[in-house]
Structure 1
């Protein structure tokens, strides 16, 4: 296309060449015709002038055609340039979309990693929940056992026995049986000896000074010694 445009840009040379060829052909034809007409006496000067006018008209038509082709060529080149610009624009948009797609795929990969981490944490949470359930079940069992132990000490409906600070003999001062010894004041030493003189109980009653209440068996002949006021609560055997 560039060569064709270059050729068209030299239209004066082309026109001259076409005119030269036409003139030669015309001359040849004219010469032959002139010779024949001279021989026959039919060719005139006016016919030759008419032929030249026709050639000039043809040259003008060729020039006009060349100009039209140049205009069409310029228009085509403009459209080609416009198409190239649009192609560049679309290519830029395509590259932008490609970057967006790459970013989306990157986010998908990150989502898969996060999903895997979440699944691992969920499994760990399930395991911890199972452990909590097991511990809760164990607590319930221990609580039930504690309740049984607490319920095993059933207090009798008999009235408690108040003992002042002093010494007492089981069977005469205190009825034989099973008792829960509890402090009345801040607490005190509480000692029980068997009838044979062996030590059966040696504790400190009260939460402030000792270990709280104490449950023991009182048998006939046992010796009870308390350093402060205490209360003996009868409980079932």
Structure 2
């Protein structure tokens, strides 16, 4: 009986020892789990929940950065497109300026050619007039100028004052009468349709010559 009681007591002691060991082992495991559940986050120990929360916050921040990056990428693309358009406008403007400069140069060249041609035409015209005058002189003909004739009535006149210096063909306006230059020392004729006079008379009027007319006469400039 004593042996049975001793065995029972001994079994009960071992039971409680085993229970105490299990409790201690659970405490050790909890301590180990609690310790290992902590990680180093920014130099501090963080729990699993804190780590999960931090990861979620980082994911949100990453999403915001991604959206911001996409927005900035679009803005950059828009700016590049605007720059390309401005570059095209600049090139078009430069082309217009270049075309204008080329046109101005061509215009200047044409102007030079026109001036050269005009000078050549004037020279040719003068040459033709000279040849005509020479031909007329050779044939005894008088070439009238395109200037307006000067009509002087009967009276006294001074060359350079009443009549410009030059060569003239003098024709009576009507009837007949005397035509004197320098009191007849230079010209002394009867103008008019008369058997004793002449229908026209050609002379060179020099500066200061004195003209005397007893009839109205037309002074026609000639070559």
Give TM-score, length-normalised by structure 2: 0.46
Bigger fraction of residues in helix: 1
